[in-house]
Amino acid sequence: MRIREQSQLYPPITKPTASPWQHRHILDLDDFSRQEMEFLFHTADAMKEILGREIKRVPTLRGKTVVTMFYEPSTRTRLSFEMAAKSLGADVTSITAATSSAVKGESLVDTVRTIQALGSDVLVMRHPCSGAPYLVAQQVASSVVNAGDGWHAHPTQALLDLYTIRSHHGGVEGAKAVIIGDILHSRVARSNIWGLTIMGAQVVLCGPPTLLPRFWGQAYPQAIIEPDIEAALADADIIMVLRLQRERQQGGLLPSIEEYVRLYQLDERRLALAKPDALVMHPGPVNEGIEIAPEVAHGAQSVIEEQVANGVAVRMALLYLLAGGAH
């Protein structure tokens, strides 16, 4: 009894480690430091090496359980997480809105408590409501990874974007990064504003005013709002094109898709305004011929496919760091 009390009074001194990793959950990038991101990217380099091997599998997370819970349709993100988890030897369980008790009216909180009771180390979740992962993180002991919540955040997408940029330009310090399109509804834009800014880039946002309202300037003073696409693209180092959903036109936010194409599509003429080595990125799925011209999406400056490939390595690194691999 006394010994226990003493050990509580004097917790064992842990050796200082080189790891700057602080995260239990990955909810957004707003709480990341530059050191943490660098550390993650170093880890992702190692994962990329594993993925280049003939047997793309290591037993690092054997015995750990990763649950993916997708309340919104997704192919690439879910697959990417599942491949990442399996490559590290973790057990993977998948739940979708259609297979969960949500269809029976069970609340999200009850569902995740059940998952917790059955045992999970990392819970990867996508949800149509902004903030849902924050609610879940308060309810469960396992790590929560936000794989996209409503309009709010998609931190792993932004991390793989940064990782992709790093592999081409070495980093983003001082770079001009332009995000074009439906900013208002974009979780990718929001997370990238944080990620790019923390890593030292200057973010420029460009889109029709209905999709990039005035009050955004107050929310993200670190970004520049430039409604004129030519000015936005001038001397850009990085161009991120966002997907335009057809609902935006139906919702009255745009007069027509054709007009959007005329005013905001990234085509070769506009791309020429950016630096010659500017990277063209897109979180996918791409609407070719709408937000981006096909010849740009498949052009020499496009790294869209690379983004997908890097997704697995970055997510492996995240799962590794979260599920105890770092300790």
Partner 1 sequence: MTEALLIRGRLFDPGQGLDRVGDLLIEGGKIAWLGEPGLAPKPDVPVLEAQRLIVCPGFIDLHCHLREPGQEDKETIASGTQAAARGGFTTVCAMPNTQPPLDSGAAVDYVLKRATQEGAVRVLPIGCITRGRKGEELAELGELAQAGAVAFSDDGNSVADPRLLRNALEYSRSFGLPVIEHCEDASLSKDGVMNEGWTSARLGLRGIPPAAEETVVARDIALAELTGARLHLAHLTTAGSVELVRRAKEKGLPITAEVTPHHLTLTEERVMGAEWGWLGRVPPRHQPLNSCAYDTSAKVNPPLRTPADVLALNRGLQDGTIDAIATDHAPHRLVDKLCEFDLAAFGISGLETALAALLALVHIGELKLETLIEALTYGPARILGRDTQTGLREGAPADITIFDPEAQWVVDPQAFASKGKNTPLAGYTLRGKVMATIVDGRLVYKDDSL
| Residues of this chain that bind partner 1 (CB under 8 A) | 25, 27-28, 30-31, 107-109, 127, 129-132, 134-135, 137-138, 149-153, 184, 187, 190, 213, 215-216, 218-222
The SS3 of residue 119 is coil
Element (H, E) at 201: none
In angstroms, give the least distance from the CB of 255 to partner 1: 19
CA distance linking residue 78 with residue 242, whole number of Å: 19
**Closer residue to partner 1 (CB): 150 or 325:** 150
In angstroms, give the least distance from the CB of 216 to partner 1: 5
The SS3 of residue 165 is helix
In angstroms, give the least distance from the CB of 204 to partner 1: 17
**Closer residue to partner 1 (CB): 12 or 105:** 105
CB neighbour class for 4 (10 Å; exposed up to 12, middle 13-18, buried from 19): exposed
Six-digit token pair at 92? Answer: 């993977």
**Closer residue to partner 1 (CB): 151 or 260:** 151
Peptide bond connecting 285 to the previous residue in cis, omega within 30 degrees of 0: yes
In angstroms, give the least distance from the CB of 311 to partner 1: 21
**Closer residue to partner 1 (CB): 31 or 91:** 31
Residue with tokens 């309810």: 139
Q: Which of 231, 36, 24, 291 is nearest to 142 (CA)?
A: 24
Residue with tokens 């990125």: 281
**Closer residue to partner 1 (CB): 130 or 167:** 130
In angstroms, give the least distance from the CB of 206 to partner 1: 16
**Closer residue to partner 1 (CB): 25 or 282:** 25
In angstroms, give the least distance from the CB of 243 to partner 1: 16
**Closer residue to partner 1 (CB): 48 or 187:** 187
List residues bridging with 302 in a β-sheet.
Answer: 280
In angstroms, give the least distance from the CB of 250 to partner 1: 14
CA distance linking residue 157 with residue 188, whole number of Å: 7
Q: Are 323 and 61 in contact (CB under 8 A)?
A: yes
Q: How many residues does the chain have?
A: 327
CB atoms within 10 A of CB 79: 14
